[in-house]
Structure 1
């Protein structure tokens, strides 16, 4: 079924390529953040990436995927025009900086450790001296809003391996999206160790967003296409193809 969906997306792209070629490709800024977005993976571009690219194909728009450090990508899109970005959490700090097109999925976040998990932010503030989070991600703002000291928040650059840092004891916990943690852990050399997960302590919608200065017709067309994919059940099947294994209780 997943292969069929991929073929459908490709056919959409080919069908509209003639019309799209006359227009400049839309720039889509996205990090390599598996399984949400993937740059170089033969099966697709991730849980959020596949849905957005399928929507763009329905519009007959060619897309240029742009890979930049996540903080820089956000700044470039905010200050640009008609630049798209995924997967962006809709947080209070970002609300006025973008045009929010459509939610692609809900992202649950939790603490991951190798010992007994915490049950609340309050417990985590007391127990953890160093918490790994992705640089420029919503996780940073969430922890700051929950009263964590900046000295407790270790911002990891793209390419740093949080699973390895956790096993080496360089961070006490890893605060991230549940799909990301499970996907990375399953593919790491440390997967035989028992990764422990706290209850879900925060959730935000992951959006396709555009620059603050964004063409209204483009916004409405993409919003409609994403709604159609969701209604037809295609989006759900695309996301499910990347669902990682669940950790042991």
Structure 2
């Protein structure tokens, strides 16, 4: 009996730490936006980060959250196991490249222009091919327009850069979500009344999500999906995103 017990103890010593009860660790990557962080100009916000923390704690994972340029985070999550990205727009182009945990909020994208440039009034996406459209590297709208053979797409690292370029007339349009434009104006201290939506990008994305790349074990994703459903059922998601889900 003593020999058998000793064998079991020795075998357990070689088990992975997670099998012995240690929390599995998740690295989370995101960029600094009104829905992920707060600032002096935008003291309210960061709802997505609050929800992600609640989700990971509900599922019993340890975690760290890294704020990085979007392009870097996007590549990191596709190449690394146990790395989650948010808020990632779910598009047809990205569908099979990621394992989707759950939706944070629904979203709609638009091309915006300066209100005092009526000559830029357009009624279809085909007409927009003639103009300079500001995009953010590896954001959903960037991929969407590249797939439709747009050539004049000067890319930057943030929407803050694009809205300033619009005011300087260095671009004709820029793409951003309906929920992102007002916080963007507040954060950059720009009068939003100068800017108007020019064209909806109707089939771009179904919403902003949390997702893993294909290197992550599907069991990790399933565990988080289960916790996500629990946070929907107990009202946590509705409470955190109340103003964005109205």
Same structural fold, with TM-score higher than 0.5 when normalized by the shorter chain: yes
CA distance in 2, matches of 1:158, 1:99: 25
Q: Which residue of 1 aligns with 2:225?
A: 223
Query: Is residue 29–residue 85 contact of structure 2 (8 Å, CA) maintained in 1?
Result: yes
Matches for 1:223-242 after TM superposition, within 5 Å = 223-241=225-243
**C-alpha contact (below 8 Å) 2:113/2:172 kept by paired residues:** yes
Number of the residue aligned with 1:70: 70
Contact 1:111 1:174 in 2 (8 A): yes
C-alpha separation in 2, matches of 1:236 and 1:105: 10
SS at match of 1:107: coil
Is 2:26–2:63's contact at 8 Å kept on the other side of the alignment? yes
TM-score, normalised relative to structure 1: 0.76
> How many residues are treated as equivalent by the alignment?
219
Task: Report the secondary structure of 2:103's partner residue.
Answer: strand
Match of 1:4 in 2: none
1:92-140 CA distance string (max 9 Å, x none): 43333322222222221001111345332123223x2x11111111111
Q: 1:168 to 1:34 in 2, by over 3 A?
A: same
2:48 corresponding residue in structure 1: 48
Alpha-carbon offset, residue 85 of structure 1: 0.9
| Counterpart residue number, 1:247 | none
Computing the radius of gyration from Cα coordinates, the structure with the larger value is 2
Task: Provide, for residues 42-88 of structure 1, a one-character-per-residue CA deviation record: whole Å limited to 9, x for no partner.
Answer: 96762432222211121232320112222221222111111111111
Alignment partner of 1:96: what SS?
Answer: helix
Q: CA deviation at 1:228?
A: 2.4
Alignment of 1:1-249 (within 5 A): 22-23=22-23, 25-35=25-35, 37-38=36-37, 46-115=46-115, 116=118, 117-126=121-130, 128=131, 130-149=132-151, 152-158=152-158, 160-191=160-191, 193-202=193-202, 203-204=204-205, 205-241=207-243
> Structure 1: which 5+ residue stretches go unaligned?
1-20, 244-249
Secondary structure of the corresponding residue to residue 209 of structure 2: strand
The Cα shift of 1:200 comes to 2.6
TM-superposed CA distance for 1:166, in Å, is 1.1
Displacement of 1:242 in angstroms is 6.0
- Call closer, same or farther: CA 1:56–1:43 in 2, change over 3 Å: farther
After superposing on structure 2, the runs of 4+ consecutive aligned residues of structure 1 that deviate more than 6 Å are 39-45
**Using the alignment, how far apart are the partners of 2:31 and 2:80 within structure 1?**
18
